[in-house]
């Protein structure tokens, strides 16, 4: 870990812990369905939730139902679909979606890009579409150029492209992780606490930018981001740190 977090004497009950999932607490996998969640990580997250009185939440591009599936039986508060879904209470259903699902005709246009060759994996997230090319990194230019061309044709549709780590996300404008985090922070037990947000990719940058409004702490994974407090090299480092603070009432440097 570079730029380690300074030890903080405050107790966990003064903080809310907000966690991006893929690439932050979980190692990236060749395809989205191949991610692995260990029993140790589930135990760590459950312990953190108990010690923070429920102020631990996922902030993910995955739908909430998919988060529940991969972390089962754990069901934490969650922001899903890049802000399209919000669940405030652990185990409850997500509230009404902030967006309608991405139009099927739009999805079909972008899905055709996956036919350009083997190794391009399509992931339908409902509110967004992801084109993964981790298995074919040489296709990056092709994927981005084709998606940009489709976007230019869809002048009447509010679509944005979010490049990530060997993935290109296609989503509607209007909701973001940052907007959803602002809303989450108005509800107990998150309200009045200092958020600690951990993220690794382009879709997380907006959350890092709003943290000063809450006296929050930003921690990135695998990239240096202006204004953050620390940067972990890998998700494995994040998991070790989370496990440590789940057993220790103070935030200490690993």
Q: List pLDDT tens digits, range 139-195.
A: 999 999 999 999 888 877 788 898 888 999 998 888 999 999 999 999 999 999 999
pTM of the model: 0.90
Between 70-74, 76-80, 122-126, the lowest mean confidence (pLDDT) is in: 122-126
Interstrand relation of 56-59 and 128-132 (parallel, antiparallel or unpaired): unpaired
For the chain, the domains span 12-97+175-247, 104-172
**Position 113 pLDDT exceeds 90:** yes
Same fold flag, 12-97+175-247 and 104-172: no
**Position 4 pLDDT exceeds 90:** no
Q: How far is C-alpha 149 from the chain's CA centre?
A: 27
**Position 1 pLDDT exceeds 50:** no
Binned at pLDDT 50, 70 and 90, residue 95 comes out as confident
Choose among 66, 189, 44: nearest CA to 125: 66
Q: Measured on CA atoms in the order 183, 189, 195, 199, is the torsion positive or negative?
A: negative
Tell me, yes or no, if 124 is annotated catalytic.
no
Tokens standing for residue 6: 């300074």
Specify the pLDDT at position 252.
52
How many angstroms separate the most distant Cα atoms in the chain? 54
Residue 225 backbone dihedrals phi, psi, to 5 degrees: -125, 130
Specify the pLDDT at position 32.
81
Specify the pLDDT at position 253.
44
CATH of 12-97+175-247 given 3.40.50.970, 3.90.1150.10, 3.40.50.1470, 3.40.50.1000:
3.40.50.1000
Choose among 98, 151, 153, 156: nearest CA to 127: 98
Specify the pLDDT at position 2.
46
CA distance 62 to 21: 9
Query: What CATH number was assigned to the domain covering residues 104-172?
Result: 3.30.70.1020
**Position 199 pLDDT exceeds 80:** yes
- Which candidate in 20, 22, 201, 204 is catalytic? 20
**Position 110 pLDDT exceeds 70:** yes
């Amino acid at each position: 870990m570079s730029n380690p977090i300074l030890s903080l004497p405050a107790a966990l009950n003064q903080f809310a812990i907000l966690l991006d999932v893929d690439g932050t607490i979980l190692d990236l996998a060749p395809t989205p369905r191949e991610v692995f969640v260990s029993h140790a990580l589930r135990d760590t997250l459950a312990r953190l939730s108990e010690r923070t009185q429920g102020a631990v939440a996922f902030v993910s591009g995955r739908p909430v139902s998919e988060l529940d599936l991969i972390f089962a039986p754990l069901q934490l508060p969650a922001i899903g679909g890049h802000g399209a879904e919000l669940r405030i209470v652990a185990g409850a259903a997500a509230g009404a979606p902030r967006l309608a699902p991405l139009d099927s005709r739009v999805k079909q246009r972008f899905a055709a890009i996956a036919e350009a060759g083997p190794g391009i994996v399509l992931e339908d997230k409902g509110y967004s579409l992801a084109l993964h090319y981790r298995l074919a990194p040489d296709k990056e230019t092709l994927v981005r150029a084709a998606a940009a061309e489709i976007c230019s044709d869809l002048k009447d549709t509010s679509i944005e492209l979010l490049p990530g780590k060997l993935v290109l996300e296609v989503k509607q404008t209007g909701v973001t992780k940052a907007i959803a985090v602002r809303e989450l922070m108005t509800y107990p037990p998150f309200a009045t606490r200092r958020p600690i947000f951990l993220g690794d990719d382009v879709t997380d940058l907006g959350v890092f930018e709003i943290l000063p409004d809450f006296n929050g702490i930003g921690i990135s994974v695998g990239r240096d981001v202006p204004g953050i407090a620390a940067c972990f090299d890998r998700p494995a480092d994040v998991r070790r740190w989370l496990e440590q603070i789940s057993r220790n009432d103070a935030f200490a440097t690993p």
